[in-house]
């Protein structure tokens, strides 16, 4: 990586040169807003994934991840809704993670308003510590969501072992679901599993009226996407 790229990332972190947009998640049974997802943005990078990747290569992903998390909470400190905020598996297994969590205790009216939305990782270096800290979050009253399910390969057994409060299904499943029997079957099976394990399913990437209608027909209760609401400051 070029030296100037590393310097820029350090400066972004030191100066907190980033901000958040918030996208609504709807209960499509009654059309009420169920919560919001906080999405990191920076004028230096058009793609947040690139920003996180560079931070990882610089060895400061944990700092960016936790600082982003804390800044999103500070932005809307007296928030009444649930707030979903992305967090990387590598952050969850960091030795400083529990100290970070302790500082969040009591930040909102109730800890269960804060949902740690775990970004799927292909490999988790320390699975034992990962699951231990997931349990620690639950014991502290925070909630956990598994993001982008279906984007990477993760077994149903791993999903059951993690036992998140929310399963966010990747937008690729929602896209043109009204035309695909295969995608309909996937959502039906996931809904059945979620019902059996008391997990709330959120279908991401709703961009067409036809896909929204099909989601309702299939029995999806929670949905997110540009059709329902774009990310806004």
Write down the pLDDT at residue 58: 87
Write down the pLDDT at residue 3: 74
Give a yes or no: residue 116 inside a domain.
Answer: yes
Dump pLDDT digits (tens) for 85-144: 999 999 999 999 999 999 888 777 789 899 999 986 656 778 889 999 999 999 999 999
Give a yes or no: residue 122 inside a domain.
Answer: yes
Give a yes or no: residue 228 inside a domain.
Answer: no
CATH number at residue 157: 3.20.20.450
| Residue 181 pLDDT greater than 90, yes or no | yes
pTM above 0.95, yes or no: no
Give a yes or no: residue 57 inside a domain.
Answer: no
The values of phi and psi at residue 93, to 5°, are -100, 0
pLDDT grade, residue 31 (50/70/90)? very high
* Structural domains in the chain (count): 1
Mean pLDDT of the chain: 90
Write down the pLDDT at residue 108: 77
- Which range marks the domain in which residue 119 is found? 63-223
């Amino acid at each position: 990586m070029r030296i100037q790229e590393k310097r820029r990332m350090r400066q972004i972190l030191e100066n907190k040169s980033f901000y958040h947009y918030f996208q609504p998640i709807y209960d499509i049974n009654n059309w009420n807003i169920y919560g919001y997802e906080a999405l990191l943005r920076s004028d230096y990078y058009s793609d947040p994934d690139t920003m996180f990747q560079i931070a990882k290569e610089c060895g400061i992903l944990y700092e960016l991840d936790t600082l982003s998390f804390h800044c999103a909470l500070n932005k809307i400190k007296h928030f009444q809704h649930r707030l979903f905020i992305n967090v990387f598996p590598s952050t969850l297994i960091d030795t400083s993670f529990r100290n970070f969590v302790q500082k969040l205790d009591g930040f909102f009216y109730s800890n269960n308003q804060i949902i740690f939305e775990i970004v799927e990782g292909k490999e988790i270096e320390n699975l034992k510590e990962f699951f231990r800290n997931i349990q620690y979050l639950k014991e502290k009253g925070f909630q956990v969501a598994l993001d982008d399910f279906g984007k990477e390969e993760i077994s149903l057994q791993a999903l059951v072992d993690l036992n998140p409060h929310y399963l966010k299904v990747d937008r690729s499943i929602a896209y043109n679901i009204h035309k695909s029997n295969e995608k309909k079957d996937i959502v039906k099976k996931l809904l059945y599993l979620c019902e059996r394990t008391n997990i709330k399913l959120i279908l991401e990437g709703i961009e067409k009226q036809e896909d929204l209608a099909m989601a309702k027909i299939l029995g999806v209760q929670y949905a997110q996407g540009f059709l329902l609401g774009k990310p806004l400051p």
